[in-house]
Amino acid sequence: MSDQVDIPVSHALHGDGVAVITIDRPRRRNALNLDVKQRLVDAVQALNADAAVRVIILTGAGGYFVAGTDIDEMASMTPTSHTLGATDLVFTTLRQSSKPIIAAVEGYALGGGCELALACDLIVAAEGARFGQPEIKVGIMPGAGGTQRLLRTIGKYQALRMMLTGEPIGAKEAFACGLVSELCPDGAALERAAALARTIAAMPPLAVRAIREVVLLGQDAPLDTALLLERKAFQLLFDSADQKEGMHAFLEKRAPQYQGK
């Protein structure tokens, strides 16, 4: 069945250094197929290359984030077709983005949709949103970070409950588990994500990058190694013009003007 949608993924710069990527497949509740995945990769890469962009928001149209991966397309796939099609590339691209990505989640974030959100840096969820990894119900398992990202985010016991039962959890429970950064009223996820994005975009870009790099690299490293990474990154920022500007602005009681240098 055709989606009858010309552009299932679009992206636009909204000013103040914030860009928004929108998934729009209304008849499939924004389910991921190979075309959507490649378009997402292209959008993230384009925005990473755009000097005017400092923070990216990923969201879905029509009251849904992503209801899962397109089963119609996936049912006939083989191990070889997964490998040749690089079906996990979009998740790797999100995780390796040079700029922060905020997921703005309304409605369903299931299967690949939950993994897509987990690949982002922050998750803003509407109170009515639902997160889940229901792959087991169709004879498979999470394959784009679900088992490992959930484990590291909410712990073994909650992660296994979600994956072995396939049952979703509501946004409030997800927030209590540490899966969601912030809750907001239904219909307000994009607006709240944009406010967070503007706040981050106004921060010194080198410090933003350093914090993300140390957190992402350090989360799976031994504590002593992670602390060393943190200390080195901290010290290197004292060579930046933004460090000088930020501290002088603080002492002079004025707004800083960061240049990312």
- Over residues 164-191, mean pLDDT: 97
Examine the pLDDT at 49 and tell me if it is beyond 50: yes
Instruction: Please give the full DSSP string across 48-71, using - where no structure is assigned.
Output: HT-TT--EEEEEESTT-SB--B-H
For this structure, is 182 an active site residue?
no
CA distance 116 to 44: 13
Q: Are residues 111 and 179 in the same domain?
A: yes
Flag whether 19 is in a domain: yes
Classify residue 111: in a domain, yes or no: yes
Which burial class, exposed, middle or buried, applies to 167 when counting CB atoms under 10 A from its CB (0-12, 13-18, 19+)? middle
Per the prediction, the chain carries an average pLDDT of 93
1 belongs to a structural domain: no
- Say if 4 falls within a structural domain: no
Indicate if 215 and 148 belong to the same structural domain: no
Q: Are residues 144 and 73 in the same domain?
A: yes
- Which of 75-79, 127-131, 155-159, 195-199 is the least confident region? 75-79
Q: How far apart are CA 123 and CA 222, in angstroms?
A: 26
Which pLDDT band holds residue 226 (cuts at 50, 70, 90)? very high
Q: Which residue range forms the structural domain that includes residue 190?
A: 9-201
Q: Which listed residue (73, 106, 115, 127) is catalytic? A: 115
CA distance 248 to 82: 53
Q: How far apart are CA 12 and CA 220, in angstroms?
A: 34
Distance CA 52, CA 134 (A): 38
Cα 160 to Cα 69, 109, 123, 125, 141: the distances in Å are 20, 17, 21, 22, 11
Q: What is the CATH classification number for the domain harbouring 230? A: 1.10.12
pLDDT in tens, 112-136: 999 999 999 999 999 999 999 999 9
Same domain, 235 and 153: no
Picking from 226, 205, 234, the residue whose alpha carbon sits closest to that of residue 55 is 205
User: Is residue 127 domain-shared with residue 239, that is, in the same domain?
Assistant: no
From the list 73, 127, 135, 230, the catalytic residue is 135
Number of separate domains in the chain:
2
Position 47 in a domain:
yes
Q: Are 189 and 126 in contact (CB under 8 A)?
A: yes
Distance CA 32, CA 248 (A): 48
Using pLDDT thresholds of 50, 70 and 90, give the confidence band for residue 6: low
Q: Do 65 and 174 sit in the same domain of this protein? A: yes
CB of 114 within 8 A of CB of 132?
Answer: yes
- Per the CB < 8 A criterion, the answer to whether 57 and 101 are in contact is yes
Place 89 in a pLDDT band, splitting at 50, 70 and 90.
Answer: very high
Give 73's pLDDT tier (boundaries 50, 70, 90). Answer: confident
- Full-model pTM: 0.93
List the beta strands (DSSP E) in 30-148. Answer: 55-60, 101-105, 108-110, 122-126, 130-132
Phi, psi of 16 (to 5 degrees): 60, 25
Rounded CA separation 182/239 (Å) = 34
Same domain for 192 and 211: no
Is residue 115 annotated as a catalytic residue, yes or no?
Answer: yes
